[in-house]
Structure 1
Amino acid sequence: MKNLIPFNVSVNQSELDDLKARLKNTRWPGEAESAGWNFGTSETYLKELVNYWIGEYDWRKQETALNKYPQYITDVNGIKIHFQYIKGKGKVTKPLLLTHGWPDSYYRFHKIIPLLTEGDQSFDLIIPSIPGFGFSEKIAMPGEAVADLWKTLMTKNLGYTEFYAAGGDIGMGVTKALASKYPEVVAGVHFTDVGYPMGQEDPGTMTEAEKQFAQFVQQWWYSEGAYAMVQATKPQSLAYGLNDSPAALAAWMLSFGNAGASPEILEKAFGGRDELLTNIMIYWTTQTIATSVSMYKVEAMAQWGGAAPLQKSKVPAGVAVFPREAQFPKEWAERFVNVVSFKKMDEGGHFAALEVPDPFAEELRSFFYSISSGI
């Protein structure tokens, strides 16, 4: 292993005092009567959450939990990368790289760590923070460039000759790029989504199920996709308010997380208010909201700049579709990855690793241990 510096999360008390003062001094805009979540994040709900944040939430307790597992800082191609690295305890272990998305963080996977590192079939888990997120370097990079970093992290910094990879949301794009660009070292990949129709597809090549999926996605973007349009066009304008006001940061992140779900489901997805706030705190204490939302812009710029599309990989891919995720058909997934396993899950949504850790972990274990590889 190369240049690994042990790391612990530690936030100065002055920063926590400043946070509490900002929360107490929030200027509430008011909301229309019976607005609920129809105009964005419910003020009624947010006030309750902020009061809990001020009076009951214990960051020091959460900080201790964040430091439960080994984590490191390392230099990868000149970029500072933070990652958790937990060795499996089973007779057989396989290296598995897990990549998060937005508005979550490396914390997305904390519940499945004990589930995948114990037992006879276990994994060495590598869970990095994408550049621009959390404790990695504050720089926005497109997903393909992140995949290049991950390949170097796994092979040069950690010394693996082959590894598995999984991810959803932004992590999906990074994982897909890994499989496409580096099939000689990526032995298998797993996804909970594979991308969405953006109106560039030839309808003549689409099945009826794919057309229905495309129609659903179009309607979803019109009703819930404003966050992505802003972040892909004017992320810096957005960042000033979110980096200055913790209430605004929470409102923006919760507005996305609540898409199509009640507040109760939203809290369940993150495991309760403490875990919901801990994810937000990772952004707040590192001041990485600006670089995280800017990733949407640099990704869009890479695509607008005429970057060649990634070729479909031959790396074996497992796909799990959770019921509160966009319901894409198998043939849609087969356009992008080499699907050898396609499952419809019984419960869960976009943040499956947080909401339903047991079935999600079992899905990863059963898939990666079912495919043939030299690992």
Structure 2
Amino acid sequence: MTVRPFLVDVPQAVLDDLHDRLARTRFLDDSPRRPASGMTSAYLRDLVASWQTFDWRAREAWLNEHPQLLADVDGETLHLVHRRSADPGAPALLVMHGWPHTFALQLDFADLLPDVHVVVMSLPGFAFSPPLGGPTTEQRLAELAHALMTDVLGYTRFFTYGEDVTANVSDLVAATYPEAVAGIVVTHAHFLSQDERDATTDPTERAFYDRMSAGWYDQGAYAHVQGTRPDTLAAALNDSPAGLLAWLTEKLVEWSDTPTGDPAAVERRLSRDRILTEATLYWATQSIGTSFRTYVDGADAVIPPVEVPAAVFVQRHEHDNPESVARRFYRDLRVFERLDEGGHFTVAEVPEAMAERVREFVTVGSRTPRS
């Protein structure tokens, strides 16, 4: 298993083509009875205008300030940022993103942990990580994450963190490889299976899952189409940068911890430069279609309870996630806190607050036995 240095270098022809397509965008007005969502015609027009003058080369230089590698891992290739601490004995932390973000959205958080060896892994099929040769399942992702940290990078012990589709992967890494995982940081706490939800008699647990289910019909269309018609959707988004931008940004708006009704409010948490960086990475790598594969292949793993030390920080979109479930699943729960700020993209939205909490846990909290 080998690693080699990597630098982001988007060909100028790709950028020229992007600017040409953006200049020829055919906009639509909002529907008269447009359902509430994270996108409006006015906001999309504003974002497209900004993308046309976006200084990608400056952002590219910023990305390349972060040491990047391509690693051969068990027959696959993974892109990653590997920020080593000046202290060789510092703890190591694996950070994994989900959809629709990329590794880039988590770098501000990584930059705030100079006293930790931080590995930010690009999921297969996202940006500069090629898609897997086989199905993109939770089990396979967990195997690759563990092999990357141990066999390739040489860490005998590490901490793990995941968001969105990698929340289960992070749980699975911790549950499957406890000898290698020193602890787990969680902002998307474990969900009960449907059978467990149906069986629970705890009113707090039932209320939480009822609330989550009630909102799924209005917000779940994206997952259904990505999981059932991925290539048809990808054909459109891969050809239209404005369409791609709308599809990605809508979820950044809806899932971040920002007021409803004003999509531009997302920029209080995720700056416009960060939004356009995400869109450019998807566009330049033509990875929107392969990013859907986690939806096509679906959740596959039965995850046993996690026995390693755990710190659960409940993000705002799951503010009422029951502590009782967390304590049953994370058997060595050292921290349980409900965050005052921060939504689905927690470490990107509140990087300073999360860096402070993670530093405390990986350096002290995970080593202090529960009282």
Normalised by the length of structure 2, the TM-score is: 0.91
- The answer to whether residue 40 in structure 2 is matched with residue 47 in structure 1 is no
Indicate the residue corresponding to 1:32 in structure 2: 31
Indicate the residue corresponding to 1:100 in structure 2: 97
Correspondent of 2:362 among 360, 363, 368: 368
Contact 1:269/1:352 (CA < 8 Å) preserved in 2? no
Matches of residues 76-115 of structure 1 in structure 2 within 5 Å? 76-90=73-87, 92-115=89-112
Structure 1: stretches of 5+ with no match in the other structure: none
Alpha-carbon displacement from aligned partner over 1:96-152 (angstroms, at most 9, x marks no partner): 1101111111112111223111xxxx2101111010111011236112211100111
Indicate the residue corresponding to 2:343 in structure 1: 349
Indicate the residue corresponding to 1:19 in structure 2: 18
Q: CA deviation at 1:41?
A: 2.2
Q: CA deviation at 1:326?
A: 4.8
Aligned mates of 1:132, 1:97 — CA distance in 2: 18
Indicate the residue corresponding to 1:337 in structure 2: 330
Indicate the residue corresponding to 1:231 in structure 2: 226
Q: CA deviation at 1:351?
A: 1.4
Match for 2:313: what amino acid? A
Aligned mates of 1:168, 1:88 — CA distance in 2: 23
Pair 1:230–1:31, CA change in 2 (3 A): same
Count of residue pairs the alignment pairs up: 359
Indicate the residue corresponding to 2:292 in structure 1: 293
Contact 2:38/2:263 (CA < 8 Å) preserved in 1? no
Greater Cα shift, 345-354 or 177-186 = 345-354
Aligned mates of 1:361, 1:226 — CA distance in 2: 33
Contact 2:160/2:183 (CA < 8 Å) preserved in 1? yes
Contact 1:196/1:217 (CA < 8 Å) preserved in 2? no
Indicate the residue corresponding to 1:137 in structure 2: 130
Indicate the residue corresponding to 1:310 in structure 2: 303
Aligned mates of 2:319, 2:234 — CA distance in 1: 28
Aligned mates of 2:161, 2:197 — CA distance in 1: 29
Q: Secondary structure at the match of 2:143?
A: helix
Aligned mates of 1:250, 1:326 — CA distance in 2: 28
Aligned mates of 2:340, 2:137 — CA distance in 1: 33
Q: CA deviation at 1:204?
A: 3.8
Alpha-carbon displacement from aligned partner over 1:168-225 (angstroms, at most 9, x marks no partner): 2122111011011111111100110124456433434242111111111112211212
Matches of residues 222-301 of structure 1 in structure 2 within 5 Å? 222-259=217-254, 261=260, 262-270=262-270, 272-300=271-299
Greater Cα shift, 204-213 or 272-281 = 204-213
- The answer to whether residue 60 in structure 2 is matched with residue 63 in structure 1 is yes
Aligned mates of 2:214, 2:245 — CA distance in 1: 25
Q: Secondary structure at the match of 1:194?
A: coil
Normalised by the length of structure 1, the TM-score is: 0.90
Alpha-carbon displacement from aligned partner over 1:282-314 (angstroms, at most 9, x marks no partner): 1111111111112111124x4xxxx6x121121
Structure 2: stretches of 5+ with no match in the other structure: none
Indicate the residue corresponding to 1:210 in structure 2: 205
Contact 1:100/1:171 (CA < 8 Å) preserved in 2? yes
Contact 1:224/1:256 (CA < 8 Å) preserved in 2? no
Q: CA deviation at 1:264?
A: 3.4
Q: Secondary structure at the match of 2:91?
A: strand
Indicate the residue corresponding to 2:70 in structure 1: 73
Q: Secondary structure at the match of 2:31?
A: coil
Q: CA deviation at 1:352?
A: 1.9
Q: CA deviation at 1:33?
A: 4.4
Contact 1:320/1:342 (CA < 8 Å) preserved in 2? yes
Aligned mates of 1:279, 1:16 — CA distance in 2: 14
Contact 1:313/1:336 (CA < 8 Å) preserved in 2? yes
Pair 1:265–1:354, CA change in 2 (3 A): farther
Aligned mates of 1:223, 1:72 — CA distance in 2: 40
Match for 2:214: what amino acid? Q
Match for 1:142: what amino acid? T
